[in-house]
Structure 1
Amino acid sequence: MKRILVCTAQVPFARGGAELLAEGLVNALRQAGHEADLVALPFTRTPHRELLNSALAWRMLDLSHVEDQPVDQVICTKFPSYAVAHPKKVVWLVHQHRQLYDWRGTNWSDWGSQPDDDQLARTLMRLDQQALAEAKRRFSISKIVSQRLQRFNDLASTPLYPPSIYSGRLRQGRYEPYILSISRLDQAKRLDLLLHALSYTEQPVKAIIGGRGPAMAELQALAKQLELEQRVEFRGWMDDQTLIDLYADARAVFYAPIDEDFGFATIEALEAAKPVLTAQDSGTVLEFIHDGLTGFVAPAEPRAMAARLDALWQSPTLAAQLGSKGPAMVANIRWEHVVKQLVLA
């Protein structure tokens, strides 16, 4: 039995996949017989200097002992939690601050808009390099995250897929007439693409959108503008059983973010034997979803998405056929394996 702390950064009032991953890991460590707890420090993206303050706060923490008792190991997840210093630090990288790396210079990053951005970026990237290099072991949540770490930092890491907190509870039900979307509602998840696609379908395709986030009001306004109020239902936060039931009976799941790090919606849909409609640039989703085999992979364009939505809407049999391979694909993504990999001997 070891005393282990899981470290993560928490955006106040926000809850998404990274938070679920950290909580799931703590629970899995406890079930494996370890004494585990979560350490979360607040994190904000603006002004940009706050990122450095957040990283330095982690760096200044002494987690080698708590209440005069030694901490055997820390497991760090998202930026900048891995800046913490510990003699037995393992990183399970959710993501770095992508606005500094692959998103810089795109619409997804505002770096360069504030004074001293260039100097701050160099400082943060140096800190990243040092903090990640000193880890005893490095894992990532997907192949694409490992590829980015190798590309930008020349550091190797082992992909280790995280299970859903609903793993083992998801089930195949019916293929009822609704498309399900479960995600944080922000720009990068591209729920606007789903809404625009619905406006082009020939069939009266209906969608249930679950989740909360900064884009909710904007998406609701867009649905009204496109006259989709009778076809789109925004559910917001849902309890676990409601979510599991919605997965079970959905016709299909829409999940088409931009260059996603992982995306729990993908493996949750597969475990529930549901096909996934995604985009050609959706990142890790494409490690699981293959066009015509486990779902549809379409250009990130409304009319292309609309055609696939129509096909799924017209044929529950097609949806069931595409979804049938899903459970076997994710059967080995289990917490027991994750814990075995992450805990140092």
Structure 2
Amino acid sequence: MDVLVCATQVPHMRGGLEQLVEGLVVALEAAGHRAEAVRIPAAWDRERLLDAPLAWRSVPLDADVVIPVNFPAYYARHPRKVVWLAHQHRAAYDGIGQAWSDIGLDDDSLEVQRQLTAWDTRALDEAVARFTISGVVSDRMARFCGLDSEPLHHPPPLADRLAPSPLGDRIVSIGRLEANKRPALLLDALGAASTDVAGVLAGRGSQADALATRAAAAGLDGRLEMPGYVSDDAVVDLLGDALAVLYAPYDEDYGYVTLQAFLAGRPVITTADAGGVLEWVTDGETGIVTDGSPEELGAAVDRLAGDRELAARMGAAGRERADALGWPEVVERLLGAAG
């Protein structure tokens, strides 16, 4: 088949969504199909939020099947549109009124939200089949748009390069240094732990300077490393040198870091409100789920540092779960639903 993977991207930004698109295109080609990614730039600010949906409605898409993966790419018109949704525009749904959203509870914002919900529902309802990357994303679609969908999980980037190795001594956290990713929880965990465990907080973002200042004030200079952006090679090395991974974003869509940690044989420390992360982390089996307080985070660090056999067992259990994921199954399910 000729397949177009449709995605929307803010220029000069790259993250998990772009990696998902690249992974799907490669998997489609490996299955013998001719595949290509089609991207249209978008702006997420409220005043321009509805511009890109209109652009997608007018784009000619000559292919046997189109697979949109995010807002507003699913506005694309095609008789065999199979949606595999990473996310809608969260700032207008579960994020409305939050500090990180520019859509509040004022009349203008509510009108934008009302219009977006109506448009989203119509565009998503056009699809011949709807899949999502996680149960969390499916739940949101059902709650806000009244539409059903099927979670369809996929392997994370670097899956073929991650393998178990002897446990290291550091707690590793990898991700964007932004409020919704809650990177400060690693500082809380190290500060509250009674054991002198070191940590690595890798990534870049708007909170980098504030986090460095806070770490210095907390006396963590000698225990916390902040290398900034890390390459794929460095991610593999960091996970291979970790005792455990702390990954606790707020209501995450999926969470590649969780699965990458599992494939490296590392347990994950997280929180009860981490969203998609909890589809993989089972407390006491593949990691430790906390309430997000410094006390519980510190206790989790102490528990794993004091019982390395437990940490190794949890990591192995996580590896078994993540190792079952494969791209061929994703491709077969998506194209099989096209009819």
In structure 1, the gaps of 5 or more residues are 66-70
Is contact 2:2-2:34 (8 Å) kept?
yes
* Structure 1 residue 108, shift from structure 2 partner: 4.2
Q: Which amino acid aligns with 1:72?
A: D
Which residue of the partner structure matches residue 37 of structure 2? 38
2: CA distance, partners of 1:159 / 1:249 = 32
2: CA distance, partners of 1:104 / 1:175 = 41
Q: Which amino acid aligns with 2:40?
A: L
Instruction: Work out whether 1:80 is the aligned partner of 2:65.
Output: no
Q: Which moved more, 1:102-111 or 1:226-235?
A: 102-111
2: CA distance, partners of 1:232 / 1:91 = 42
Which residue of the partner structure matches residue 54 of structure 1? 52
TM-score (norm 1): 0.93
SS in 2 for 1:38: strand
- Counterparts in 2 of 1:37 and 1:221: CA distance versus 1, 3 Å: farther
Is contact 2:93-2:113 (8 Å) kept?
no
- Counterparts in 2 of 1:93 and 1:62: CA distance versus 1, 3 Å: same
Which residue of the partner structure matches residue 8 of structure 1? 7
* Structure 1 residue 138, shift from structure 2 partner: 0.4
Which residue of the partner structure matches residue 166 of structure 2? 174
Is contact 1:16-1:183 (8 Å) kept?
no
Q: Which of these residues, 174, 183, 191, is aligned with residue 199 of structure 1?
A: 191
Q: Report how many residues are paired.
A: 337
Which residue of the partner structure matches residue 19 of structure 2? 20
Instruction: Work out whether 1:219 is the aligned partner of 2:211.
Output: yes
In structure 2, the gaps of 5 or more residues are none
CA distances 1:97-128 after superposition (whole Å, capped 9, x unpaired): 11211222334433127773222222211110
Is contact 1:95-1:261 (8 Å) kept?
yes
Q: Which amino acid aligns with 1:162?
A: H
SS in 2 for 1:6: strand
Which residue of the partner structure matches residue 146 of structure 2? 154
Is contact 1:150-1:156 (8 Å) kept?
yes
SS in 2 for 1:116: helix
Q: Which of these residues, 208, 215, 220, is aligned with residue 228 of structure 1?
A: 220
2: CA distance, partners of 1:171 / 1:335 = 18
Is contact 1:179-1:207 (8 Å) kept?
yes
Q: Which of these residues, 270, 292, 296, is aligned with residue 304 of structure 1?
A: 296
CA distances 1:218-269 after superposition (whole Å, capped 9, x unpaired): 3223222322222111223323222122212310011111111110011111
SS in 2 for 1:15: coil
2: CA distance, partners of 1:113 / 1:57 = 27
Q: Which amino acid aligns with 2:310?
A: L
Matches of residues 195-344 of structure 1 in structure 2 within 5 Å?
A: 195-343=187-335, 344=338
